[in-house]
Chains A and B, each alone.
Chain A
């Protein structure tokens, strides 16, 4: 049985639809991210799961029992969930130990038991030595760990995270991503994670829900989402990509400056424009005509940038008008204006929208 089920959940403010027809099932112990630009409805969805907001339509069930619907909600304090907030919401009037022990105290555990569990979880997040400190004396990363410990120590049925890393600097953010995933692997808590940062979602999640303007665009595992985006939005939001537009002409699809046999491309049928997504990493660059079975055609280097980890080239197919972005290893150096060969595997071209 699924742990958490959202059925056609909607949230409306007057005529504005913040969340529309949102359906999702989480297996027990699954880690799912809600990913999307700000204002896409991901935080609203999370707050409905937490019980802070009633949905305008649809329902939310946990362990087969309905906990939210338009006609009533179980208040957050009775949902046995826990949540990590964007601001961490560490209580500045309590020490680290008191913050972490609060939820256990509410559950009326004995003093000794609370101490034991608090110490144990503080060991896990490597904060044991700071148990007596007040939050004002902690760094951002340490506060984040307190928030994690406080949320996990109560062994929640569902753990909710609302952009928990957005207030940290870049290095710490990367470290905490792995920390969150590590804690999930250790405790196997069913988790919903809200973020606008695709790499955060990709590192942490079993599955990612990409949202846009209140609607679900696609739900898939990170590598599927990247490799086989279903819509133009998903392809553009997850990683960088080239959008190429073609039309079916006989047995070929004609793109801007190159063509491909329709039989080799997915979804190459029907009239009108056919839109494909082509990742910059999926294009090969060489000075010699490649001998493989993929598409190969000549092009000119228009512009380039060196980013340390890779080269970012702008390459225009001969006879085409718009350049394509191509990423290559830092060792593959081509001068601007030089002629090169491009190689594309037709399977790397993903039909979108």
Chain B
């Protein structure tokens, strides 16, 4: 074939000493700068500020003396630890049987159970806390009223305003983490492993005790540690429940240090144990999950036959529905009742029904509608920035484009060990004072959200990029395309789906973020979560419920899109957390 190769001949032969330094380096430098700004600087300022005297900035230990100088401050620290332990233990009681039933048995309604776990997962903890105040408030709570009606007793047995109440509420909305970890592990245990135990003479229970459970145990522990960390870092639920119950935890205490006048130096000093415990436990978690868990479980292949439950099918299903009732059915029934009620305490009467609460928050309240818009706008920008940034970093790391690229990857996942509250204090310390003076701006909220969700973005991005064969890009380059051509024409189109998934996994929680937002919002940058928190302080549960429901309903289409594009379980996979 005599093809005219004039176009090829016209291509310039590059000088021999073409250096390995090309323009893409500028992009990498920009990424490093952004990560320094987002991750390193707030962290550094947090530490520095904790050693500074207010205003003068001189070096001092006095902040630490103040922060740990009173018994009740110390008590709050221990309360947090106890709360974390209790919540994690309770959550595992909710999660492990459900995970086992869904992943390994023929329990009826497994799809339904998964869906209800997802519904739990997308319910913000503070919304759950409000619902449980309606359910188990002393005297007026619905569960107490039903109890009194049924027994004729003078008072109900439930009191949400207690340590136990708080632990239960936190456990109810964090158990999906354990569920996700455990199902992921159980789905990797092939029936053949269990068959191997059976054929050597072990019965079903012995097999479960000696084979299945030990294989899943690292994952269960890993999930419990995440629950523990979630519980000690949580701000909304403790603020709504612990404060009326007259005890403090670390986060509520930090909030008080941040009250008028703002004592950011003391808050920074007081945040250190929370940070330390989190870092330590994350390391432990990594160790557990990596050492025994997934190395042993990589033995893929082999079908998984569901375990036949026989007459235990319905009792197990009953337990799943019991958990769902506590986490989803009861809370939503009474949130909806409250949202459509003139006064929630008057109950399910026709003349108690009104749309006034929705009208009020959407059209009449000065900032409620705006707060929802703020939530969505900040969430969308943060998710977009985080997705592209982490994709860039993951690409650099995976393709070893620069020496020590691993450092960039580390910076992207580092925020995982920084609780939202602590991150917010770091951002405040770094960027509230001049010259940037970002306090109260939309920018500081967006930056903080971006940083908080970088780890989710990075885990997804690096998994996606590692699944791409580098030869796909090399094929572009050898045919004359640059690296950027390869990125634009091949990498980006192939990662579209993953990027959209990561975007949703960031966007959805970002629209509910409270623990960082509460420290950084200003008069014009209130987000929906802060609005809900404010309304709970005013005791305005009807309007609050309406706003919380609006937020939930607005999330549904996104969830639907995500499920269409990425599969039903996209939020319940391991890389979602």
Contacts and interface: CB of A to CB of B under 8 A. Distances in A.
A71 B13 CA distance: 17
Interface in B382-399: none
Which DSSP category, helix, strand, loop or mixed, fits chain B's interface?
A: loop
A210 to B, nearest CB: 25
A100 B70 CA distance: 74
Which DSSP category, helix, strand, loop or mixed, fits chain A's interface?
A: mixed
A102 B478 contact: no
A103 B18 contact: no
A77 B490 contact: no
B3 A155 contact: yes
Contact of A120 (B1, B8, B19, B477): B1
Specify which of B11, B16, B481 lies most central, judged by the most chain A CB atoms within 10 Å of its CB.
B16
A103 B7 CA distance: 11
A154 B480 contact: yes
Interface stretch (A85-93, A239-247, A278-286, A338-346): A85-93
Interface string A202-213: 000000000000
A11 interface: no
A163 to B, nearest CB: 11
A147 to B, nearest CB: 8
Interface in A28-51: 50
Contact of B17 (A72, A104, A121): A72
B14 A155 contact: no
Interface in B1-43: 1, 3, 5, 7-8, 11-14, 16-20, 22
A106 B480 contact: yes
Specify which of A52, A89, A154, A155 lies most central, judged by the most chain B CB atoms within 10 Å of its CB.
A89
Contacts of B1: 120-121, 124, 186-187
B192 interface: no
Contact of B18 (A72, A87, A89, A155): A72
Interface in A41-69: 50, 52, 54, 65-67, 69
B13 A65 contact: yes
Interface stretch (B121-129, B140-148, B468-476): B468-476
Contacts of B494: 91-93
B439 to A, nearest CB: 45
Interface string B360-404: 000000000000000000000000000000000000000000000
A124 to B, nearest CB: 7
Contacts of B308: none
A80 interface: yes
A150 B480 CA distance: 12
Specify which of B16, B20, B475, B493 lies most central, judged by the most chain A CB atoms within 10 Å of its CB.
B475
A154 B16 contact: no
Contact of A91 (B11, B19, B20, B472): B472
A75 B24 CA distance: 13
Nearest to A92: B494
B123 to A, nearest CB: 37
Contact of A75 (B469, B477, B489, B490): B477
Nearest to A99: B475
B60 interface: no
B416 to A, nearest CB: 32
Interface string B479-500: 1111001000110011000000
Contact of B477 (A76, A107, A108, A124): A76
Contacts of A106: 479-481, 485
Shortest 8 CB-CB contacts between residues of A and residues of B: A103-B479, A89-B471, A89-B475, A85-B471, A93-B493, A72-B17, A106-B480, A83-B478
Interface of A: 50, 52, 54, 65-67, 69, 71-83, 85-87, 89, 91-93, 102-104, 106-109, 117, 120-121, 124, 150-151, 154-155, 160, 186-187
Given A72-B17, A75-B14, A107-B8, 6 more contacts: A72-B20, A73-B20, A76-B478, A79-B478, A92-B494, A154-B480
